Amino acid sequence: MPRILITNASIFDGTGSAPFPGEVLIEGTRIVAVARGGEHINPEGAEQIDGAGATLIPGLVEAHGHLGFGSSVDRITTRRDLSPPERILFTAHAARLLLDFGFTSLYSAGAADAKSEVALRDGIEAGWLQGCRISACSFERSASALVPSLVQAQTRYAGISTRDPDVAGVRDFVNEMADLGVNSVKFVVTGESGVVPGTSRVLQFYDEELQAAGEAARDRGVWLNGHVHSCESIKMALRHGFRVLYHCTWADEEAMDMLEAQKDRIFIAPAPGINWANCYEGEAFGITHEVAEKQEQFITLEQVQKVMPELHKRGLRILPGGDYGFPHNPIGRNGRDLELFVKLFGFTPAEALSAATKWGGEIMGREDLGLIKPGFIADLSLVEGDVLADLRLIQARENFRLIMQNGRVHKYAGHQQA
């Protein structure tokens, strides 16, 4: 079994504690020993990697990304007519690129094609494809897809008043996605003002539909993810067992109390990255200040800055993940969310980094991922500089001297494996 010893590193172990000088021994896919301070690990039989004082961190986890949406920092596209083969190639490329930026895992927030994402997940897990570990998701189920007449009409995010409940259709969708082998199923429970202005607080599903989704998900052993902006959508999702709640923008006091009551079961990914991109970085793609204002992006960003610090105080697991994959918010920019957690939500750098590692392992459903600790999976990165002094260091791939996934060296000293 191959042994690798990383020495002379400043170790941030993912718990949120201060970094410490130390060494880490990996055997096969696992961390088997961690030494602190003046302690040393027997190097016999191990390949040694000198950390040279760089910061050793657990592999980062993206909690709200879309690999199949087509855009990454080195391959921006505004095309919406990608063929299935092109879409698969773009998705595989995005998974590899995310790993290049130190994100060893992705909790998918919606696939462009669920069957392809499952196949990509399995190929990476088997080791014959390189890319981030994937918790595969269904495509994003919107209410209009339940009613064929609404798909072509100008009624996207029109709300429940435009249709009757379709409990059977919702249940069938969960079962269909479970049959494909996804880990989670996503429902767009509210509209999205960034797409259709004024719809983020418009309910798209009936309570009885989400109840059916929850029952089917429990029966099939898959998780439920919800795109939930409004306070009522948050409460509905919590009542019916949704595990990951995206955005939570307009949570009121009752919703926050309900979230707190289930804090040991749920995860929140508010996605500040997409709001920030819409407000300040979208002009080249037609999202001017006026357009962003019409799409309620500034007020959304203001509101989420009120809600997330309060939920953080209450001990909720709030994870970085900013809806990456769009042309103006591409895959590869994911590390920016940690900076935004500090700037907008009042997290300390250690808290933000721990949210992306320790809580990242937890959202992936792994009890052995996200910490530098004996027995844990050897997902590790060496980053040049003091990461906690400047979280922006993790936004540049050239700062990653070492990237390791499952004990396998993906990149070392600037030379990426083929």
In terms of residues, how long is the chain?
A: 418
**pLDDT score at 16:** 96
**pLDDT score at 418:** 44
**pLDDT score at 363:** 98
pLDDT in tens, 63-112: 999 998 889 999 898 887 888 888 899 999 999 999 999 999 999 999 99
pLDDT at residue 269 greater than cutoff 70 = yes
Q: What is the third-level CATH fold of 3-58+370-416?
A: Urease, subunit C; domain 1 (2.30.40)
3-58+370-416 and 60-363 have identical folds: no
For residue 85, give every residue at least 6 positions away whose Cβ sits within 8 Å of its Cβ, in sequence order, or none.
Answer: none
Q: How far is CA 156 from CA 153, 162, 345, in A?
A: 8, 10, 31
**pLDDT score at 260:** 98
pLDDT in tens, 152-203: 444 678 899 888 999 999 999 999 999 999 999 999 999 999 999 999 999 9
pLDDT in tens, 8-67: 999 999 999 999 999 999 999 999 999 999 899 999 999 999 999 999 999 999 999 999
pLDDT at residue 348 greater than cutoff 50 = yes
**pLDDT score at 38:** 86
**pLDDT score at 147:** 57
- Average of pLDDT values for 347-371? 98
Band (416; pLDDT cuts 50, 70, 90): very low
pTM higher than the cut 0.85: yes
Please report, rounded to a whole number, the percentage of residues in the chain having pLDDT higher than 90.
88
Q: What is the third-level CATH fold of 60-363?
A: TIM Barrel (3.20.20)
The rounded mean pLDDT for the chain is 94
pLDDT at residue 297 greater than cutoff 50 = yes
- 3-class secondary structure per residue, the chain: CCEEEEEEEEECCCCCCCCEEEEEEEECCEEEEEEECCCCCCCCCCEEEECCCCEEEECEEEEEECHHHCCECCECCCCCCCCHHHHHHHHHHHHHHHHHCCEEEEEECCCCCHHHHHHHHHHHHHCCCCCCEEECEEEEECHHHHCHHHHHCCCCCCCHHHCCCCHHHHHHHHHHHHHHCCCEEEEECECCCCCCCCCCCCECCCHHHHHHHHHHHHHHCCEEEEEECCHHHHHHHHHCCCCEEEECCCCCHHHHHHHHHCCCCCEEECCHHHHHHHHHCCHHHCCCHHHHHHCCHHHHHHHHHHHHHHHHHCCCCECCCCCECECCECECCCCHHHHHHHHHHCCCHHHHHHHHHHHHHHHCCCCCCCCCCCCCECCEEEECCCCCCCHHHHHCHHHEEEEEECCEEEEECCEECC
pLDDT in tens, 328-341: 999 999 999 999 99
**pLDDT score at 145:** 60
Band (391; pLDDT cuts 50, 70, 90): very high
Per-domain residue ranges for the chain? 3-58+370-416, 60-363
Band (296; pLDDT cuts 50, 70, 90): very high
